[in-house]
Structure 1
Amino acid sequence: MELVKDIILQTTFVILPIFIFHLFWLSRNHLNALKTNIPLITIGCMISAILCIITPIEIIDGVYFNLHTIPLFIAIAYGGYIPGFLTLLSTLAYFVYPYEYSLFYLFISIVVYSVISLSIRNNWLTYTLRKKFIFSLLYGVTILCYSIVSFIIVSVLDDEAIKLNPIILISISIVILTLLLTLLIYLTEYMRSTAVLRLELVKAEKLSIVSELAASVAHEVRNPLTVVRGFVQLIGNSPESTDSQRKEYMNLVLAELDRAQSIITDYLGIAGQQQIQKEKVNLTKTLNEVTMLMTSYANFKTVRFNCEIEKNLFVFGDRSRLKQVFINIIKNSIEAVPGINGIVTIKAEVKEEYIYIKISDNGVGMTKEQIERLGEPYYSLKENGTGLGLTVTYSIINSHGGSVKYSSELNKGTVAIIRLPFFIHKSTAHSYEAHQNLG
């Protein structure tokens, strides 16, 4: 039982550098992760080799065995000459004194372990996995032959009878070493291939996003430009048109150019090109301004507002970006209500140091599946919508430390609840408490 425990402990020690390398290097989503990190390999293999030597496995009385040859092999094969040499030096400090090996035996061991590893170093990274397994098998066989021969020589020199049981135990130990080395090579190659695949997927995803974005921008902007081109041609080719007709055409041209500008603004917003400059914002004033701004559009759609906005609501954020959020959501609510008797309710209040802005309508509503997809790029319930307005809205609210939640029922309306942190000044008492006192 003690032997099994020691073998498990040694196995943990030799696997340690592989996981260290993966955790601190291969797991990074960067092209440099595929390059050899010599310091990390050196440190991991040195620690592994030292731990293996400190806690050896006693297979029989006076005969010790450890797996320090595995990190030595890994250091040379995957790191190179410098990691291999430093790993070898780290083992020398513990090799001679504790176990009183002769210098000759130590020298022969170094030659055997190092020469085999160095002989395959130059082309190791180009070998196939099968070829690497073959070399690991040859490495184990060489160590096995060397260990048995060494045991026989030591027994003869000490005038002891050569026993079969120690040779069997040594053979079993070397077989275990070979299997573990093969396992480590497989783990290393698997982690490397996984890192390569992950980086390729990230690159492919970026290219896909860029191509999709470019195609979408071209498609969305082409439509208003086509309309503009048509009306410009109409103005130029119709000398008999009246001034009022030309003015109407020009208004349509300007409207389409504004639409193109709006589309580009949405794309820039989702791409994060606009920086957020935060300051203390009077949210009560901002909401009232947005309501007044959207009143003419609501009247055009025969929709009326019902506002319940508390006074002295302050947040720390970008005023123009927050204004954009409320315009987007209120505009969506206006467009969702029926032609007559449309009502959009805007309510803002403070609860537990958060400001809750509730924007509700009595419109057509949405299904649960539609609500779950809100905020996805290119998903829109409007016939000519890009779906980017809500995507930008979600991004802005998240950057302000807030959240947006929707609830809706078909033919009963939709409720959007925006939660934003109440402004708290660091150098004075809580603004929330001041607001409560004013209330």
Structure 2
Amino acid sequence: MPHRFSFASTFVNRSIIGSVYLAVLLIFFAAQMLFTTFLTLPPLSVFLLVAFASSLRLIEIFYAEQIVTKDESRSQRFAVSSIAWTLVLALLLAVLTRQPDTHYFGMLILPVLEAAIYFSFAITLLISAAASAVSLFWVAYAANFSPPFQSGEILEASTLVLVYFIVGCLVWLLVHMLRDREEQLRQQLYDLEATRSKLIEEEKLAAIGRLASAVAHEIRNPVAIISSALETAASASFASREREEMSRIAGMEAKRLEKLTTDFLSYAGPGNASFQQLDATALVGYIVSIVQPQALQKDLQIEVKMCDTCCVYGNEGQLQQVLLNLMRNAIEASPQSGSILIAVVNQSRKALQIRIENAGPAIPRRVADHIFEPFFTAKEGGTGLGLAIARSIVDRHHGELHLERNDTDHIVFTIRVPSIDGEDTVQTHIVREL
């Protein structure tokens, strides 16, 4: 269950409350100056008191974060001081003004509102009663405590008392409703996060189950063949030539099983390979030189476009594995005497793109939608882990690998990885024309 914070400590900023207090004080003082200019200026003591009260509120505004934290008890203690000071301030301003009629008691609505925000309903009523007592006290004070009191003053004070209690009750009710709504929202968010975590965990378990099922399916066939071949090779009822052939088949299936296991570990294991700054031009050039003999067998032309300075931060062996896988796929998919384009460009100062494009028939839609899934393959004898491993490696490099274009004679795979400052000048090199 999440920790419960009060509505006030969570959403009401003390700097906002201080700003409201300051604005109201200055407005009331400006109103006094405006309506008494033609009669007489307020005493100097009023100016000094307003200046002092304004200074306190300015300190509260600028140092609100240091004065009050999310500690609810500390917020409430400061609120008590603020409320008490405002009650005293309104009375002092009325007394120092030296006029029987004063508007400063309108400021007492602010302590009532602050009590409704920070405290219980009973305390809100108590502060409303305190503000009412100050207003009624002024009626007696203005008449020198000698009844009968003026009916107009009594009516004005009674109206203020009514306003204090009505506003205090309504604001407390609204704040209480908001506080309950906030708590409900917090609980819903907590429940939602718990549900989300549970779903993620279940999805992980389901993914592990699917992966284990796929691994078991892929391993079952070579294991069954090996077992059958070894039984045949060990049986004296078969000729020597047949037993030798079965031994050879068992060895081939064992190698296939070893490759499958290696590919699976490459896909599943996060690895602890170190990263370093790499020259993308050299990286691509090395891979092109490796696949060149395979390209020669199909009379393919490999065209390379590279930046002058294209650098990436990554693991050389892993990125070579990705490029080698994509280039071999491109060679296998290309028609005889076709061409393959591999381009390295800086998309921006922070992103490097490697595009591998080949001719040939488009990948069927039903296949293209699943080519990055583990153990999915449309090639006879394939493990279905090549592209899944490639994408996993690119993900570890905080990059993206996707099939950008899938049209006839325009099949484009794109790798996008973070780069280290490079220039966008591109030079075209024909590696070999056949």
| TM norm structure 2 | 0.60
Tell me how far 1:155 sits from its aligned partner: 1.6
1:308 counterpart = 2:303: yes
Question: Cα–Cα, structure 1 residues 224 and 53, in superposed 2: closer, same or farther, change >3 Å?
Answer: same
Tell me how far 1:415 sits from its aligned partner: 1.9
Tell me how far 1:262 sits from its aligned partner: 0.9
Out of 345, 348, 358, the position equivalent to 2:343 is 348
AA in 2 matched with 1:382: A
Corresponding residue for residue 286 of structure 2: 286
1:363 counterpart = 2:361: yes
CA distance in 2, matches of 1:411, 1:230: 40
Out of 197, 202, 207, the position equivalent to 2:191 is 197
**Match runs of 1:206-217 below 5 Å:** 206-217=200-211
Q: What is the RMSD computed on CA atoms of the aligned residues?
A: 5.0
Q: Is the 8 A contact 1:304 1:342 kept in 2?
A: yes
**Match runs of 1:156-305 below 5 Å:** 158-159=139-140, 161-163=154-156, 164-238=158-232, 239=234, 240=238, 241-268=242-269, 272-281=270-279, 282-292=282-292, 295=294, 303-305=298-300
User: Residues 215-246 of structure 1, C-alpha deviation per residue, up to 9 Å, x if partnerless?
Assistant: 12211221233224323422442223422330
Q: Matched residue of 1:86: which SS?
A: helix
CA distance in 2, matches of 1:378, 1:434: 35
Q: Is the 8 A contact 1:402 1:418 kept in 2?
A: yes
For CA contacts below 8 A with separation 6 or more, give which structure has more relative contact order: 2
**Match runs of 1:28-427 below 5 Å:** 34-35=2-3, 41=9, 50=18, 53-54=21-22, 83-100=71-88, 139-140=120-121, 143-144=124-125, 147-148=128-129, 151=132, 154-155=135-136, 158-159=139-140, 161-163=154-156, 164-238=158-232, 239=234, 240=238, 241-268=242-269, 272-281=270-279, 282-292=282-292, 295=294, 303-309=298-304, 315-316=311-312, 317-334=314-331, 336=333, 341=336, 343=338, 345-348=340-343, 350=345, 356-367=354-365, 373=369, 377=373, 380=376, 382=378, 389-394=386-391, 396-397=393-394, 404=401, 406-409=403-406, 411-418=408-415
Question: Cα–Cα, structure 1 residues 242 and 366, in superposed 2: closer, same or farther, change >3 Å?
Answer: closer
Q: Which has the larger radius of gyration?
A: 2
CA distance in 2, matches of 1:194, 1:405: 37
Tell me how far 1:185 sits from its aligned partner: 0.7
Tell me how far 1:344 sits from its aligned partner: 5.5
Q: Matched residue of 2:361: which SS?
A: coil
Tell me how far 1:403 sits from its aligned partner: 5.1
CA distance in 2, matches of 1:177, 1:56: 18
User: Residues 125-154 of structure 1, C-alpha deviation per residue, up to 9 Å, x if partnerless?
Assistant: xxxxxxxxxxxxxx4476347625862685
Question: Cα–Cα, structure 1 residues 361 and 190, in superposed 2: closer, same or farther, change >3 Å?
Answer: farther
AA in 2 matched with 1:89: R
User: Residues 42-83 of structure 1, C-alpha deviation per residue, up to 9 Å, x if partnerless?
Assistant: 896655665565455999x99xxxxxxxxxxxxxxxx99x93
Question: Cα–Cα, structure 1 residues 347 and 247, in superposed 2: closer, same or farther, change >3 Å?
Answer: same
Corresponding residue for residue 71 of structure 1: none
Question: Cα–Cα, structure 1 residues 215 and 421, in superposed 2: closer, same or farther, change >3 Å?
Answer: closer
User: Residues 171-199 of structure 1, C-alpha deviation per residue, up to 9 Å, x if partnerless?
Assistant: 43124312431343134214412431342
Question: Cα–Cα, structure 1 residues 364 and 161, in superposed 2: closer, same or farther, change >3 Å?
Answer: closer
Q: Matched residue of 1:265: which SS?
A: helix
CA distance in 2, matches of 1:386, 1:173: 75
Question: Cα–Cα, structure 1 residues 141 and 260, in superposed 2: closer, same or farther, change >3 Å?
Answer: same
Q: Matched residue of 1:406: which SS?
A: strand
User: Residues 79-106 of structure 1, C-alpha deviation per residue, up to 9 Å, x if partnerless?
Assistant: 99x934322332354444454168xxx9
Tell me how far 1:308 sits from its aligned partner: 1.3
Question: Cα–Cα, structure 1 residues 358 and 383, in superposed 2: closer, same or farther, change >3 Å?
Answer: closer
Q: Matched residue of 2:323: which SS?
A: helix
